A and B are shown apart, each in its own frame.
Chain A
Amino acid sequence: MAVMNGRAIVAGAAEGEALVSREPLSFWGGYDFKTGTIVDTHHPLAGVRAAGTVLALPFSRGSSTTTAVLLEAVRAGTAPAALVTTGIDSFFALASIVAGVMYEKSFPVVALDAGDFDRLTSGQWITIETSGIVRADGA
């Protein structure tokens, strides 16, 4: 098991299966909130369901509407359980904060060092603590 000290950008506890990509993602045009599936045909995770996973992406790209898509996903129950990034991604942080304000359902957003981020692989079981500690089991 790997234990990593992340920075809790938006603090919270969550666990789930890791879904990892080195490729950034725009949620608008990239995430179908009706199904919780990644739909960006340019993205390596296209077609993969991300609802309930701990989704690890280096950062957001593309549309400003990424935050609104994430808010819709939270409302619809199709959002990832948490987001893990390599830097402070203000889009993911904002979506979580507004999800807290609107629906009392914020989700953890944690930033890892690039080195720690590289230790994540899809299929690991990830546990995120409020302090920002990230535990990765298996795979």
Chain B
Amino acid sequence: MQLTARDRAMLEGAEGPAPQLAMSILVRMAEIGGAPGLMDISQAHIDSTIYLGDATLEFAERLAALGARVAVPTSLNVSGVDVCGWQRWAVPPEWAAKAARQMRAYEQMGAVATWTCAPYHTHMRPAFGQQIAWGESNAIAFANSVIGARTERYPDLLDVCCAITGRVPAVGLHLTENRAGQTLLQLVDVPRPLQADDQFFAVLGHLVGQLAGDAIPVIDGIVTRPVEDQLKAFAAAAASSGRVALFHLVGITPEAPTLDAAFQGRRPRATIDITVPALKAARAELTNADGADLDMVILGSPHFSLDEFRRLAPLVAGQRRHPRVKLLVTSGRAMKEQAEQAGVLAPVLEFGAEITLDTCVLASPMLPPDIKRLMTNSAKYAYYAPSLLAARITFGSLADCVRSAIEGRVVRDDSTWQ
């Protein structure tokens, strides 16, 4: 492997102990990945912010104590605590204190306090073709696929090394030739009304994640024009049920104007049909609750966007949630501020919803033990809540979620899916 003079200097400690440590980890990963060398990035998104316990905190504080500074503009993913609102929830004070310490460590490094798993909703959104190092599975898939920026699937603890050095191994999805589609997933007889359903792209993503294995999937046969939040839902779902870091939707995503372009002129290694029964089964997998009992509706994984607030506001306007059922929206500081300015936050709060910033119900132990029956329109929440929260969850549309919050029990309009 060829290192530049600057890479070698960093590795030898010429720029201080933090770049040295980060570079030593990067070089080992580059060797493992068979990289010919390292390359520059112009932005990073650090997922290592999620506080899990003493190890994640010790790692962050060790780097901060070594004087680590990010070398490129760097956004921060969710943390383990909503520093302004955790007292209203069941977060243990010791957890809150340690999670806040971990936040301070990353802020000390000069990263921007975005505190969101949807950095593409902030001013830090990268451009098409930009070389970046992003952690957070949904954000990686979104950046690569929807924006056409270029990032490998970076894990926690490595993303920060990339940010500190401004360098990454020159491999994988950073390189044009590795971005070609590999498996063709063909929608077969999936009618337009089903494709236009609010839940369709989340369900399709959940199925694609399972079918794609470790290949780059190309999905053909979509006849609707999904909005960005539908693509976000697809990316998050596929990156939860699978390891999808890049996907191409033919005629929709920027590197797939045609089927041929999506595969860069190559032939698919495999072709798999996606049928209505498979989609119905995938949707059913996202619900593990039985019955209509409901404690809380949770929205916002990935973090709720301004457009999602815009959709939610008229659904809840002039109404009030059922006194027994909570409605929680998890979002980021920037999106909440935008929603406030656009006048679409007030109706949501008047409905009786609560807003949690900087984190989510999966990353912070905020839900009290009596909240066990959830409903969501997020495939990512639906995928992880049974494992992480031991919860019963129902997946439905945004309108279903609002109606259920009003009626105090799970209500779903399943007509499109029957």
Of the candidates B54, B59, B135, B387, the one whose C-beta lies within 8 Å of that of A98 is B59
Q: Which residues of A contact B52 (CB under 8 A)?
A: 33, 65, 68-69, 72
Q: Are A9 and B137 interface neighbours, CB within 8 A?
A: no
| A133 proximal to B (CB < 8 A) | no
Hey, what's the 0/1 contact readout for A110-123 against B, CB within 8 Å counting as 1?
00000000000000
Q: Is the CB of A64 within 8 A of B135?
A: yes
Which residues of A93-129 have CB atoms within 8 Å of chain B's CB atoms?
93-95, 97-98, 101-103
Q: Tell me the nearest residue of chain B to A92, going by C-beta.
A: B155
Interface residues of B in 109-158 (CB under 8 A from A): 135-137, 140, 152-158
| Complex interface: chain B residues within 8 A of A63 (CB) | 137, 240
Judged by DSSP, the binding face of B is helix
Interface size class of B (residues with CB under 8 A): 35 or more
Tell me if B32 and A72 are in contact (CB < 8 A): no
Residues of B near A68 (CB, < 8 A) are 48, 50, 52, 55-56, 59, 155-157
Q: What is the CB-to-nearest-CB distance from A72 to chain B, in angstroms, rounded to a whole number?
A: 4
Residues of A within 8 A of B158 (CB): 67, 90, 94
**What chain B residues lie within 8 Å of A58 (beta carbons)?**
214
- Docked Cα-Cα span, A71 to B25, in Å, equals 14
Contacts of B34 in A (CB 8 A): 88
Contact B55 A101 (CB under 8 A): no
In the assembled complex, the CB of B334 is this many whole angstroms from the nearest CB of chain A, namely 21
A28 to B52 CA separation, bound complex (whole angstroms):
10
Beta-carbon contact of A29 and B136 below 8 Å? no
User: With the chains together, A95 CA to B157 CA distance in Å?
Assistant: 8
Interface size range on A against B: 35 or more
Residues A62 and B156 in contact in the complex (CB < 8 Å), given A33-B53, A68-B48: no
Bound state CA distance, A65 and B153, in angstroms? 11
Q: How far is the CA of A62 from the CA of B388 in the complex (A)?
A: 14
Query: Would A72 and B362 be within 8 Å (CB), given that A61-B242, A88-B33, A101-B25 are in contact?
Result: no
Q: Does any Cβ of B come within 8 Å of A60's Cβ?
A: yes
Chain B, 1-58, CB within 8 A of any chain A CB? 21, 24-25, 28-29, 32-34, 47-48, 50, 52-56, 58
Chain B contacts for A66, CB-based, 8 A: 155-156
| Cβ contacts under 8 Å, A42 to chain B | 241, 285, 383, 386-387
B21 pairs with A101, CB closer than 8 A: yes
A106 to chain B, nearest CB (A): 10
Cβ-defined partner of B243 (8 Å) among A61, A67, A75, A88: A61
Is residue A24 within 8 Å, beta carbon to beta carbon, of the partner chain? yes
Q: List residues of chain A with CB within 8 A of the CB of B53.
A: 33, 72, 75-76
Contact pick for B29, options A29, A61, A94, CB 8 Å: A94
Whether B387 and A30, one on each chain, are in contact in the complex, defined by CB atoms closer than 8 angstroms, is yes
